[in-house]
A = this chain, B = another copy of it.
Amino acid sequence: MLTAGRLARRFGLSRTALLYYDGIGLLRASTRSPAGYRLYSDGDIHRLEQILRLRSAGLELDQIRRLLDAPADALTEALERRLEELNDEVDHLRHQQRFILGLLQTRSSRKPLRTMSRSIWKSLLIAAGFTQDDLAAWHAGFERDSPVRHQAFLKLLRIPEAEVAAIRARARKAASGAPSRRRVGKTG
């Protein structure tokens, strides 16, 4: 039996969040102490775990509440709908990005665009499921098999000359047999 404060700390969320969940009927403490303190049972804790899982998926609390008492099919369906929604949201943010890039180009900017474009591209690929190592391996393979097309591809991404050269150099080194202990982007 945990009080609200302890439970909150245990799950890394705020006490007021728990009070809010109580208020909207999402998660009520199954017991109260004589003084009125909320006391959360193991069952309550289990329910909280489910709630936080679905919250991590970006579902609304109201929807989570309904799903917890619904058949599993409803959950699967809701998650798939959420995936589509996320596609739309990402598209929307991408439009904002491209719009901003347009605004900046109209003005007198020169260098930020190039670096942004590179970092955007990278975060896209990483978000798409590629790890840093995947990217390194991919560049290495590309460079080994068709260095000319590799360069053209990097140019297409508007990555500046110096960066292109650095990426190709790393790719050649990786392809020539050095163990892949390198981290892209940070210190290596």
| A16 close to B (CB within 8 Å) | no
A93 to B56, CA, bound (A): 10
| A127 close to B (CB within 8 Å) | yes
Chain A 118-152, CB-CB to B under 8 Å as 1, else 0, gives 01110110011100000000000100011001000
Out of B90, B93, B104, B123, which one reaches A80, CB within 8 Å? B104
Q: How many copies does the complex hold?
A: 2
| A58 close to B (CB within 8 Å) | yes
Determine the chain B residues whose CB is within 8 A of the CB of A58 once the complex forms.
93, 96
> Given A80-B112, A128-B121, do A93 and B89 touch, yes or no (CB 8 Å)?
yes
Q: Which bracket fits the contact residues of A?
A: 35 or more
A79 to B96, CA, bound (A): 10
29 interchain pairs (CB within 8 A)?
Answer: A53-B103, A56-B96, A56-B99, A57-B103, A76-B109, A79-B103, A80-B112, A80-B116, A82-B96, A82-B100, A83-B101, A83-B116, A86-B96, A86-B100, A87-B123, A89-B93, A90-B93, A90-B123, A91-B123, A91-B127, A95-B127, A97-B127, A98-B127, A98-B129, A120-B128, A121-B128, A124-B128, A145-B146, A145-B149
Which A residues lie at the B interface, using CB under 8 A? 53, 56-58, 72, 76, 79-80, 82-83, 86-87, 89-91, 93-101, 103-104, 107, 109, 112, 116-117, 119-121, 123-124, 127-129, 141, 145-146, 149
